[in-house]
Chains A and B, each alone.
Chain A
Amino acid sequence: MDNKDKRDMMPEDEYLKQMSSLPKVKAPDDFLRKVRERIEKRTFRDRMIDALFVPFRIKIPLEVAAVTATLLLVMSSLDVVKPSKQLAYAPKSDVETAVIGKADDFKSQVSKGERITEEKNIKFACSEEKPATEALKMKKAEYKEDRLRETEVASGCADSAEPGLSKGFFRADVFPAIRGYITAAQGAITHIETDKNTGSALYFDAEIPVANYESFKKKMEDPAISRYIRIEPILKEAPQGRNIVQIRIFMI
């Protein structure tokens, strides 16, 4: 700072004197009260903000509710809750076996020993869908139904089990039908080989009198039956003095 600059400025001691002599401005007498009011006002506003953002004790249930709602949303989107919906996405073959019909109607008919035709099954299938577990029960009932009809044939009710070669002829109907034809041809079943797991016939041996064999064979050629069986002659010597044909019928 040169002398010219110093000449253009107030002397430092004069400056300091002027600055220190500046009057001190006092705060108003009610300053403390105003500050207190302002603090109370602020506190009330803070309380309002706290109320808006929910106190801690209510916040936890809200969080739980939010998590629960999210889980429900995720589960519903993944179809975990409704098993019946899983059926809709199942492969077609599974659906066909699963969708059987009204369980009560089906069971009552089974218990009465009433014959279930394919038409009836289709009718049931159209009436109502059942979950997979229900369908499994239906399959078991169907198997019981087959066993029941076998019993009927064996007990002399073969006529009622006459297949009639209708379109409602199932694989399960084949064995009782053949058994009926064998009986009608005055033949006899000499051996039955069954599946150890299911109990259903794998093949069976029969003896048919020669005189009745041709008519029996014609009945076996019916497509309703022949598509389920394969007949092979048994290569063993026929018993002496007996005019019979020995055959083995495979279930296919």
Chain B
Amino acid sequence: MSEESINFDELVLEHKDKVFNLCYRFLGNYEEADDCAQETFVKVYRSLKDFRRESSVSTWIYRIAVNTCKNRAASAQYRRSRNMVRLDEPKETEDGARPSEIGDDKLSPAKEADRREKGELIQEAIDSLPHDQKSVVILRDVEGLSYEDIAGATGLNPGTVKSKLSRARQELRKRLKGLV
């Protein structure tokens, strides 16, 4: 195995959960998120030799992930699959298992169910946002990136990032009022 492939494997292992979570929050579907995250790392592999280190590796990977998610969300196939799945149904994997989440093992089953329900409501609200606002709000409020990193990952300037984030938050706060 070459040095490049070892580095790539390390890269995947280091960033796969963040990228997967971003894809899941963006697309709202576990299967789509899995496919989209894989596609992201295939693109990373193919572009690795052209990476000029103008930004950090994680920002670069996020940027590829955001673009891949936007393309996927705009595809006709994705829209058809979204129409077939009701958003209030619990999201399951192909074999019927629930997607694994990093939860608090000490929570009681009742609290765990409540937390899961809240999560689904928030996800539904995120799904309703336009793509640009969605990517900004996920990167900032879910992933915790800085404005500069978000600007690097989305290709927007920091001022635009802030304004889009402000509008996205207002929209989400309106939608989540009284639900959560």
Partner of A15, one of B33, B41, B176: B176
**Contact of A8 with B174 in the complex, beta carbons under 8 Å:** yes
A19 is an interface residue with CB less than 8 A from chain B: yes
**Contact of A25 with B173 in the complex, beta carbons under 8 Å:** no
**Contact of B141 with A32 in the complex, beta carbons under 8 Å:** no
A12 is an interface residue with CB less than 8 A from chain B: yes
B24 is an interface residue with CB less than 8 A from chain A: yes
Residues of A within 8 Å of B100, CB to CB, are 25-26, 28
A61 is an interface residue with CB less than 8 A from chain B: no
Q: How far is the CA of A10 from the CA of B125 in the complex (A)?
A: 13
Nearest Cβ on chain B to A152's Cβ, whole angstroms? 94
Identify the interface centre among A20, A34, A35, A39: most chain B CB within 10 Å of its CB.
Answer: A35
Residue of A at shortest CB range from B174? A9
Query: In which size bucket is the chain B interface?
Result: 35 or more
A22 is an interface residue with CB less than 8 A from chain B: yes
Residue of B at shortest CB range from A28? B34
Q: How far is the CA of A39 from the CA of B177 in the complex (A)?
A: 45
Partner of B37, one of A11, A24, A27, A39: A27
Residues of B within 8 Å of A34, CB to CB, are 34, 38
**Contact of A32 with B9 in the complex, beta carbons under 8 Å:** yes
Residues of B within 8 Å of A155, CB to CB, are none
Residues of A within 8 Å of B162, CB to CB, are none
Residue of A at shortest CB range from B116? A23
B60 is an interface residue with CB less than 8 A from chain A: no
Residue of A at shortest CB range from B22? A25
**Contact of A38 with B42 in the complex, beta carbons under 8 Å:** yes
Residues of B within 8 Å of A108, CB to CB, are none
B90 is an interface residue with CB less than 8 A from chain A: no
Partner of B102, one of A8, A26, A28: A26
**Which residues 1-23 of B have a CB within 8 angstroms of A?**
9, 12-13, 16-17, 19-21
Given A9-B174, A32-B12, A19-B101 contact (CB < 8 Å) = no
**Contact of B41 with A10 in the complex, beta carbons under 8 Å:** no
**Contact of A19 with B142 in the complex, beta carbons under 8 Å:** yes
Nearest Cβ on chain A to B15's Cβ, whole angstroms? 9
B99 is an interface residue with CB less than 8 A from chain A: yes
Q: How far is the CA of A10 from the CA of B180 in the complex (A)?
A: 9
Residues of A within 8 A of B (CB): 1, 8-12, 14-16, 18-28, 31-32, 34-35, 38-39, 42
Cross-chain pairs A/B with CB under 8 angstroms, 27 sampled: A9-B173, A10-B172, A10-B174, A11-B173, A12-B169, A14-B180, A15-B173, A18-B180, A19-B141, A19-B172, A20-B142, A22-B119, A22-B122, A23-B102, A23-B116, A24-B101, A25-B33, A25-B101, A26-B20, A27-B20, A27-B37, A28-B100, A31-B12, A31-B20, A31-B38, A38-B38, A42-B46
Known: A1-B170, A12-B169, A27-B37. 7 other contacts (CB 8 A): A16-B141, A19-B141, A23-B119, A24-B101, A25-B99, A26-B20, A27-B34
